[in-house]
Structure 1
Amino acid sequence: MILVHSFEQGKLYRRSDLHDQFGGNRQRGISPSAKEAVIFIFSGESGGQYGYSDGWNEDNTVFTFTGEGQVGDQTFTMGNKALRDHISSSKDVFLFRASSNGLCKFDDQLTLLGYELKPALDRNGDSRTVISFMFEPLSKVIQSANEIVEDVRDQSLEELKQLALDDTSSENTSVQERKVKVRRRSEAVKAYARKRADGICEACEQPEPFNAKSGSALDVHHLYRLSDGGPDHPEHVAAVCPNCHARIHRGSDGVEYNQALINKILNKEQL
């Protein structure tokens, strides 16, 4: 049995074995697992005949991946929607590059930076719009996270809210600028939720259970697993104690408890 987090970079895997274990569509380039919180993307050379190609940039820091759909404009449905929402749905993305004889080479685990809509030709030679996703290796995200945490930690509640609402989708910024904005926004949302809670669990309304080295023992919980408005929004997160976090995800009344928390946060945000 293959554990999803034990994939080895550069190692060949048989695609049929991956699907036997994890499920997912065996033909498409984007394959959300039916059994685990993961999405496999398979990149090869065939996209060239449809006017696009996937690949790393020159310094191997950004991987561009074109969405699925060979005829007509690509839309945010099925695999394309799963990729766009993978952070809010807490699904990990794993990149495999096609090899031969049904084998594929594991490349890296990726995190979405953003996407652009670009003109291209479909398989019939007709003009259409495709979705160009931009990812970076998860290791790069982790590497720079500490710097950004320090950058936002001392901001006021109002300053954090402004950062949390910052628009990161502009196509007029460079990839590097977008990377910084996405990370700052994500960390600002977490810092905002914890500062808004002020040491009190926003679910059970009890003091945080212990003094944490990081400064807060509260977990940041996404109230909506899939939010078309984007997961990183002050009204979509709550700072909760580990016990309440577990109750939401594993408790028999988790759905009801989460809905009550949604109402609490909406009331807080409207004050």
Structure 2
Amino acid sequence: MISNRQLTERFKCSSQGGMRRSHATDSLVLIADHTQSLYENRWIDGRFHFSGIGKKGDQQLEFSQNKTLAESAENPVTVFLFEVFEPGQYVYAGRVALADAPYTASHPDIDGSCRSVWVFPLQLIEGERSWQITEDLIRKNRKRSERLARNLSDKELVKRAANIKSRAGCRRATTDLYEKNVYVAELARRKANGCCQLCEQPAPFRDRHGRPFLETHHIEWIAAGGEDTIDNTVALCPNCHAKMHVVNMKSDRRKLRKKAETNVFQYTLFDEVIFG
């Protein structure tokens, strides 16, 4: 773990930006800052899906360091990946290379408008050993993201929940942790409106901020290949959540499927009203 100053001195690159090219060291330094809300960068099946640069409007593959990274298999540049979980602390993930062709995804830009973003699937170079982060650090970062999600308007939340990859992120710490999307989870809680979507009773208590305490659940479990999407996510009381993981009755899954379909229908209506 190093500071931004140390990173800049070591690679002789800029002190700002998510893609920092250094001609002096013939390197491209990628910064995945998880404390910032604009991009959804995460590990999925051993690959890190890194969003290109360009904060407003559709991103261009030929623009600046997007082109450098896209052509990194043919050019001599060495690509280094760092992740940020606490402001000012840069965690070295390792040397990386393109694992597949870049693809486009939809994400809100800095003004909240939906736009096309280039995403680069990266993988660690064979033999590269990265520092394994602690579960505590991941959980702290998730709590920060959850606070952000709670402060978003319904319009902003719908945009973010609708435009993410369906697979939950997974990274190695002391165990494999699934990085479930906070916007999908927050949207499920809002649609539940304070009541468990299985037993249909009010949440058993309120948290210290006065919010009904409900836990999000994936009807088809993430560990079994389920998707981290609004049509597979519901909000349950702790008792029903435990029941679904212990018993997982077909009748309960059918009921929750219908609830999730209602969530999607409500989202679709909201989307049509807001975006036309």
Q: TM-score range by the shorter chain?
A: 0.3 to 0.5
TM-score, scaled to structure 2: 0.43
TM-score, scaled to structure 1: 0.43
